[in-house]
C-alpha cells in the first residue's frame, strides 16, 4: 500500500512539474500564426503559464501546437514531426482549420490534423482570440495534471497491461 | 489598346482566328488550337506587336455550360508587351479524346520559357497535355494523386490522403 501511495503521489508531482514547463514546437502553416505570435508576445504572454519557450526542433519539445491549415501533402511531414518528439508529449490544434479543416472542403485540405496525429486540445476560432488560446492551454495543463493526455493514457494502459500480465492487477473482462 | 493586334492577327491567319472581341480594353482572340505555336510566334516576334511576356497560361473547364463553343476545355494565354504595355488574351478551345483521353495542345515553351510551370499547373489541375513540354510533371499536387481536381467532374468531397492514423 505504501509503495502504491508513494508512486501515485510521485506521478502527481511529476505531472505538476510538467504542466508548468511545456516546451512548445509551433507547427505554423497559415494565418493563425499571427495570432499565435500575439499569444506569445508581451501583451498576452503565454510565458506566464510556463509555456514560453518555443523550441524550433521537435526533438526538444513536448507540446506540438498545430497552427493553421494542414494539407494532405503536409500530412506525412506533420506525422514525422510528431513521431520525432520525445514522450510524454501533447498536441494542441490551434484554430478551426487544424481542428476540423474549417471552411476548406476540397481535394487538398485535410479535415483536421487529428486525421494523422492524436490531438489533446482543440481551440476553435478563425483565428482564435489569444484569450481562447490561453484558456485552451489551461485546459491542457489540467489534463496533464490529471494524466489524461493521449500519450499519458496510452502509457497508463500499457503499464496496467504489464501489471495484469504479471498477475498484479485483476483482469477485467 | 490591342485592337490593332487583333486586326493584324486576322489579316495574317484568316480562318485560324475563329472569333475576336474587344470590350472595355479587354482584347481576346479565339484561335485554332492546331496553330497555337505559329500564332504565338507571330505575336512574339512581329515588330509593332512584340508580346514578349507570357503573364499566365491557364485553362477553363466548360463542362455543363450552356454557351459552350467547340471543345470542353479552353486554354487561355495572357500576353503582355513590355514595350507598349498592351495586353492580349488568346483562347484555344480543345476537346478530350473520344475515349476520355487527356486533351492535347502544343507547348509554347519554345517561345516563352516561362510557360514551363504554367503548363505544368494546367496539366496538374486540368489534365491538359502539352506536346513538346520537356518536363510535364505535377507541380502542386503529389505524384500519388489520381485525377485532376479543377475539372468540373471531380467530386469535391473526394480525399486522397497520403497518411492516416493507424492507431487509436
Is A118 in the B-facing interface, judged by CB distances under 8 Å?
A: yes
Q: Do A107 and B161 touch (CB under 8 A)?
A: no
Whether the pLDDT of residue A171 is over 80: the answer is no
Q: What is the pTM of this model?
A: 0.83
Find chain A residues with C-beta within 8 A of B167's C-beta.
118
Query: A115: distance to nearest CA of chain B, Å?
Result: 6
Torsional class of B163: left (φ above 0), alpha (ψ -120 to 50), beta (otherwise):
beta
Per-residue pLDDT tens for B109-168? 999 999 999 999 999 999 999 999 999 999 999 988 998 999 988 988 888 888 887 776
For residue A32, count CB atoms less than 10 angstroms from its CB and return exposed for 0-12, middle for 13-18, buried for 19 or more. buried
Q: Is the distance from CB of A156 to CB of A148 less than 8 angstroms?
A: no
Locate the chain B residue with the closest alpha carbon to A72.
B161
**Predicted confidence band of residue A10 (pLDDT cuts 50, 70, 90):** confident
Is the pLDDT assigned to residue B34 strictly greater than 80? yes
Strand blocks (E) in B2-144: 17-23, 26-31, 53-61, 73-80, 87-94, 104-106, 129-131
User: Which pLDDT value is given to residue A6?
Assistant: 65
pLDDT tens digits for range A75-97: 999 999 999 999 889 999 999 99
User: What end-to-end distance do the CA atoms of chain B give, in Å?
Assistant: 63
Q: How many CA atoms lie within 13 A of A51 on its CB side?
A: 25
Cell digits for A170?
A: 485483476
- A106 at interface of B, judged by CB pairs closer than 8 A: yes
Is the CB of residue B43 less than 8 Å from the CB of residue B5? yes
DSSP B75-96: EEEEEE-TTT--EEEEEEEE--
**Pick from B142, B158, B165: CB nearest A115:** B165
Q: Which of A79, A105, A115 sits opposite B156 (nearest CB)?
A: A105
Q: Is the pLDDT of residue A52 over 90?
A: no
pLDDT band at residue B24 using 50, 70 and 90 as cut-offs: confident
Contact B165 A114 (CB under 8 A): yes
Q: What pairing do the DSSP bridges indicate for beta strands A90-94 and A63-67?
A: parallel
Q: Tell me which of B157, B159, B165 to substitute to probe the interface with A (most A C-beta atoms closer than 10 Å).
A: B159
Here the cell at position B46 is: 512581329
What would the mean pLDDT of B92-120 be, rounded to a whole number? 89
Helix (H, G, I), strand (E, B) or coil at A141: helix
Report the residue of B127, B161, B168 to disrupt the A interface, i.e. the one with the largest count of A CBs within 10 Å: B161
Contact partners, residue A38, CB within 8 Å, separation at least 6: A44, A130
Taking only the tens place, the pLDDT of each residue in A102-158 is 888 889 999 989 899 999 999 999 999 999 999 999 999 999 998 888 888 888 888
Identify all chain B residues contacting A111, using CB atoms and an 8 Å cutoff.
159
Residue A24: pLDDT over 80? yes
- Which of A107, A108, A109, A154 should one mutate to test binding to chain B, selecting the residue with the greatest count of B CBs within 10 A? A107
Amino acid at each position: 500500500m505504501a509503495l502504491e501511495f508513494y508512486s501515485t503521489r510521485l506521478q502527481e508531482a511529476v505531472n505538476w512539474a510538467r504542466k508548468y514547463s511545456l516546451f512548445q514546437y509551433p507547427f505554423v502553416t497559415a494565418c493563425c500564426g499571427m495570432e499565435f505570435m500575439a499569444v506569445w508576445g508581451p501583451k498576452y504572454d503565454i510565458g506566464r503559464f510556463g509555456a514560453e519557450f518555443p523550441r524550433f526542433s521537435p526533438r526538444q519539445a513536448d507540446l506540438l501546437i498545430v497552427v493553421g491549415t494542414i494539407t494532405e501533402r503536409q500530412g506525412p511531414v506533420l506525422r514525422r514531426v510528431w513521431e520525432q518528439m520525445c514522450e510524454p508529449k501533447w498536441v494542441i490544434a490551434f484554430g478551426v482549420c487544424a481542428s476540423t479543416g474549417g471552411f476548406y472542403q476540397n481535394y487538398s485540405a485535410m479535415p483536421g490534423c487529428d486525421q494523422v496525429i492524436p490531438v489533446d486540445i482543440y481551440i476553435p476560432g478563425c483565428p482564435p482570440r489569444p484569450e481562447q488560446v490561453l484558456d485552451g492551454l489551461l485546459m491542457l495543463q489540467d489534463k496533464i495534471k490529471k494524466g489524461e493526455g493521449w500519450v499519458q493514457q496510452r502509457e497508463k494502459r500499457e503499464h496496467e497491461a504489464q501489471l495484469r500480465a504479471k498477475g498484479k492487477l485483476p483482469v477485467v473482462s | 489598346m490591342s485592337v490593332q493586334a487583333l486586326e493584324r492577327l486576322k489579316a495574317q491567319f484568316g480562318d485560324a482566328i475563329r472569333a475576336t472581341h474587344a470590350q472595355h480594353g479587354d482584347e481576346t482572340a479565339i484561335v485554332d488550337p492546331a496553330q497555337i505555336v505559329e500564332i504565338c510566334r507571330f505575336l512574339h516576334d512581329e515588330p509593332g506587336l512584340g508580346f514578349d511576356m507570357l503573364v499566365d497560361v491557364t485553362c477553363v473547364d466548360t463542362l455543363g455550360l450552356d454557351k459552350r463553343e467547340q471543345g470542353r476545355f479552353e486554354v487561355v494565354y495572357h500576353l503582355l508587351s513590355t514595350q507598349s504595355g498592351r495586353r492580349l488574351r488568346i483562347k484555344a478551345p480543345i476537346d478530350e479524346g473520344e475515349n476520355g483521353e487527356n486533351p492535347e495542345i502544343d507547348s509554347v515553351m519554345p517561345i516563352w520559357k516561362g510557360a514551363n510551370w504554367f503548363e505544368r499547373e494546367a496539366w496538374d489541375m486540368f489534365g491538359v497535355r502539352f506536346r513538346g513540354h520537356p518536363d510535364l510533371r505535377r507541380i502542386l499536387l503529389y505524384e500519388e494523386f489520381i485525377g485532376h481536381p479543377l475539372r468540373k467532374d471531380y467530386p469535391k468531397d473526394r480525399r486522397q490522403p497520403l497518411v492516416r492514423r493507424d492507431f487509436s
